Structure 1
Amino acid sequence: MKKSLVLVLAFLASLSCGFDWTFGLSGKCNQAKKIVSVLENKKDSIEREQAEKRVLDLCGEGAPGHYVKALQRERASDLDGAIVEYQACLKSDPAFPLASGRLGYAYYLKGRLDDAALELTKALAAKQDPLFHKGLAKVYADKLMYSLALYHYEEAMKVSPSDVSLYVGIADIYRKQGLYEESRDEYRKALAVNGIDVDARLGMAEINLDLNKTDEAFDDLRRLQTANPQNKKIHLLLGQAYERKGNLKAAEYEYLLAGKNRSIELMEQLRKGNEYLQSGDYVKAMSELETALKEKPGDIQTLRRLGDAYMAAGRDDDAISSYREATRLKGGTPDLHRNLGILYERKGLLDEAAVEYRQSLSSDPENPDTLRLLADIYSLRGSNQQAIELYQDLIRMKKDTPRIHFMLARAYLNNRDFKEARNEYALAVRQDPENQEAQRELADLYRRSSMDVEAEKHYKEAIRLKKDDSESRNALLALYVKRKKFPEVVSLLQENVELAPNDPVNHYKLGLIHEFNKDYDSAVQSYKKSLELKGDNAKTLNALGRVYMKSGRLEEAKATLEDAKKADPKLEETNVLLGNMRDEIAPEPQVYRKAYSSGKKKKSKRDRSARKGKKSKKSSKSLAKKGKKSKKPSKSLRKNKKSSSGGKSKKSTGSKKKAKKTAKGKKKR
């Protein structure tokens, strides 16, 4: 009893004397680990230092202690020392997600992206923390795995929607992809959360530089520089802005402040290259820019300008190489992609051109030049509906021109929407009456719809704008013939002859209309002129022979038609005309044969009987057919028919014989 009382008293004494219920060192480390888990929430530096000291006192050589030491080394910019401490922490306690996450971020800063992805993924598996998602997003963005990077940024944003760096990270990815409008939207969201965020404002300035909006970028950067004079990125972008504005001394100074060695000699070469390029001296421009590129290989600005010089000089393959190298180095701009599209289109590579135009539009979706170029590509490839949609977008944007309506009309025509095509052609012609192709194609549509008066008017306009437009002339000629406007036909054909006096077809057609109007002398002259230009033309020889016949010049007609037959023995009209001529020159004596008709051979009885036999066979066949259709009569009826038919046949044969004798007697007389 006394012993149990002593134990109870000892227990109570231990409670009052501070007995360690954490069971030694492990208990202290667990306590230190709990303090570490809330370190991130302590914003006050003094409070944070006290908490870290408490952790080191409790478990300085355990996992929490190594973790705090790593944080301290990280703040002192000793990244290698921080990595060693994080590794020691994880060696003591592999299930320490905070250490895995911080180690992964340290690996990222050192450029060890694969190690960083491994540690951050392990940390995420143990704890869903937005910091781990953000770290993985940065890793994947640097590995150019943009879809994964965007996923992790969005996951982090679900927990931390007020974290400006997440919006900036997404905007940077869009900018790297050339999606400038999407990138601008994300930067705006970041500024809506924090209007003075430096990274978001710098991102907006970079986009303006990429889009060649140098003045806007310059103004933003000057304001940022005032508030953040030590920011190297601001100085770097200001250097680019000054260089584009031509202030090379100021550019060199800003580059030096940014820690970038860009000599004034190099920028002077770029400036001279730009001046030569603008003045049209492409050889000197290429020389200066090539020298600049040798001094600074891989300089994006130089590559762009050199590509411009090559393109202007017609060295398309070299221009494509320069532009593609600039794109590979993430220097692609909307203008660069548009120029690449134009170069591919020149080479007939329409698919590649369409890709570049779409890439340009992804960054600058309302650029009317790029929209029109892509619409033209769709039209050339036969993608008429896509072309129509883009042309309509341009019209909705009020960027329409007579050419846009003209190309939209063609797209409708190729899509067999003739009504809309006619409307757009009419609008194009009203806005630009000097568009000869639009006048002719509109006339073709009116002619297709049998609107001959309107078609005639627009064909005349097309011919006025282009005298030698053979398509419009032939179509107008067909309309005149259809409407029987023969004086206009003659006048138009005479114009054709004056425009192309050495074309035998024009003289031949003029001869045809003279012949139709029975002006045979003029027809002969036109046909002869055609034959002077092409003497073996069978149709022209045939036409000349025909006119000679009509005007009574038979000998000349015969000789000319014989020449036509030699030129083309298969010409049917020539053979017919020659046959008619023989009849006229040596006609068959029709009257003579009638006078001596008794001298004809008499047909023999055999011939006559043979003919009769044929007739009787035919009649018997027809009777047989009729008999099949009708039913057979009775025997009594057949006998009566035989007797009656026999009497009739005897009478009829006797009358026939008498008629033959009288006819013979008349012939003899």
Structure 2
Amino acid sequence: MAGNQRVFERAIKRAAGHSSKREWDKAIEQYKQALAEFPKDIQALSGLGLAYFNTQKLEKALAFFQQARQEGGADPAILERMADVQERLGRLVEAADTYVAMADHALQDRKIDHAIHFWKRATQLASGHAIARMNLAKAYTSQGRIERAIKEYLALAQAFQREKRPDQAMNICQQALMLDPRNAQVLDLMGTLRELLEPEKKPESVSKPLSEKDLENLSFEDEPLPASQREKGSPVEMALQQALGTLAESVFEEDLVQVATIVGQALDLQRQNLVDEAAAAYEQLLKTGIDRPEVHFNLGLLYQEKQLWDESIRRFSMVREHPDYKLGALLAVGECYRAQGKFNQALPHLIEALKLIDLKAAQPEQKDELIQSYESLANSYVRENKPEQIRRFIDSIIRFLSKDWETKVKEARQRLDGIAGEGMVMSLAEIVGVPGSEAILKSMTLIQKLTEQGKIATAFEEAYNAIRVSPFYLPLHLRLGDIFLEQGHFDKATAKFLTVARLYQVRNDIQASIGVYRRLLRSSPMNVTVRSRLIGLLVEQNNIDSALNEYLSLGETYFQLAQINKALETYNEAIRLSPRGSDERTWAVKFLRRIGDVHLQRVDWRQALDIYQRIKKIDPFDERTGLNMFDLYYKLGRPRKAIEELDTLVGHFYKKQKFQKAIATLQEAVQMQPEEEAVRFRLSQAYLSLGKKEEAVMELDALGELQLQAGHNDRAAKTIRSIIKLNPPNVDSYRQLLSRISLSHK
């Protein structure tokens, strides 16, 4: 006869003993005997379930665990065993339900962290589990963990979307927007859902509870955060606070006395997040003739919250040139277009907002290059027109310019400047659109420090690890190229830099590509291929003066490599480009001089003279050109033409009263042709004209010596007489010399 307590207790005791010895079959027999006496005993039911579990009889184990629960077994251990068995049997949804039940028990014990753990486990088993997701979102909201709450809302909305229930998905998205009205992922999903919904069909009201049976008894029904508590510190929020403060002060202005009540009312309503009432008050204010930028900006925000996108954009556009509201307005307009899924319209406003912030944080010398970088970036997105890529970049900007954006900008700018190569400027846009940007910046900073400390192998390993995580972030590859250089692997470094430069070019970030080529040239200045590519990019960007400077270096490199014809081709190519430069004459002269110098090195006097004659047509009185022509005429056996050239040049300096310039020119001419009497005579006369008697005597002395050596005694005697007239300290020696010349002549 059932119900024998003594038999029951003896069987339970024996079952426990067998279980402790892992004698499961014997334990099963004893638990069965116990249940024969008391079939609903929870201890016996759960014990038998555990014994079956350990003998891998999972179906039987689950049956007894479930029976134990039905009999009132609230022991979390029973539920945990149930969930474990359900998982093993592949009944994942049932297991998720069990974990939700475990969370309920944890809540009853006020163990919120345990409840969160069980809900998370439920979502891992059944990603679309509505109760688990919703309770997680509410729990995170109550803890102030807004980002995590939004992730749960998004996951739940996406689950509804997969189940073809766009109304419910939209409802969940709207609840998420109450926490973060500018969340890019939520807005993007809402745009997709709008396409699924029929045009005439509107989503259920946010305030209406979800009709799904599994969402009827949700906990943590906290109120959403009011607008005044969202996105603290974002550019839009900062502009809002500026507008509210300015309007509050305007109440006391004399010309606003009559409307002070309306202003105060509008401000109070907006601070209370009474959107409709506040908007009406501001509209009433405009009707009184108070047309202030603060009013339009606040109306723009209110209409944005009401999702009246076109009216919101119109209001923001009215203040986008005001210095206090430009940044906030640009960002808000981008958000409005983004919320409508109009990515192409949102992009230029958000890029402009990021550019404004970047220029403010950058050094003065960086600004021109940054402006060009952002222009290239915008043009690249427009030309490629890849909606998904545009959407991701838009979302990245919106996230970056959320709370604590000023701190993020400052830190990012400092790190970018620290890791950029010499002469290379990196924009915030390069890092904003990269997933895990903060980790990447930290990694690059670490790589730089390790390199500076000489720990090249460790830096190399860190760079490779970072690239595995973010393979498409090109500055990481540049840093790896730097490490190759440190290791002396110049071929690897060159290959890496060239690849990165080409990729930047493919992305239409021409400024970055130019920076990479210049970076490579600092380590490999003789690389003519790299310099040629750099010239091509500079010309493409219409940066002609910089391109012409690179032509100078390229030609010099060819000359040093003894590729003379290539050097001449390079200089002639540059001359053809010079009309597009800032000063065609100056550039043409520079390159013609280089060509002339090449011909001089080749001892091709006639070709050199032709080049210098071309230069003279451009700049008739260029000293270097005139002297070279003087020298070449002598070398070509045309001394009279040489002296004419010299006289023309020196005469020009005399006419301009540049006497020292004339002297210097004649001195150099003497060095070029020290045996020419006519040149020394002209220098001596130039000295005399400036009262430099001692220098004149020295030149006349040298001239007389030349004449005597050449056997021109009459000319030498004339020169000596000129010296004697100057009465130098050693005049007697010159008189004696003159006497000897005269005697020899007789």
Radius of gyration: which is bigger?
A: 1
Structure showing greater relative contact order (alpha-carbon pairs closer than 8 Å, 6 or more residues apart): 2
Alignment TM-score, normalising by the size of structure 1: 0.47
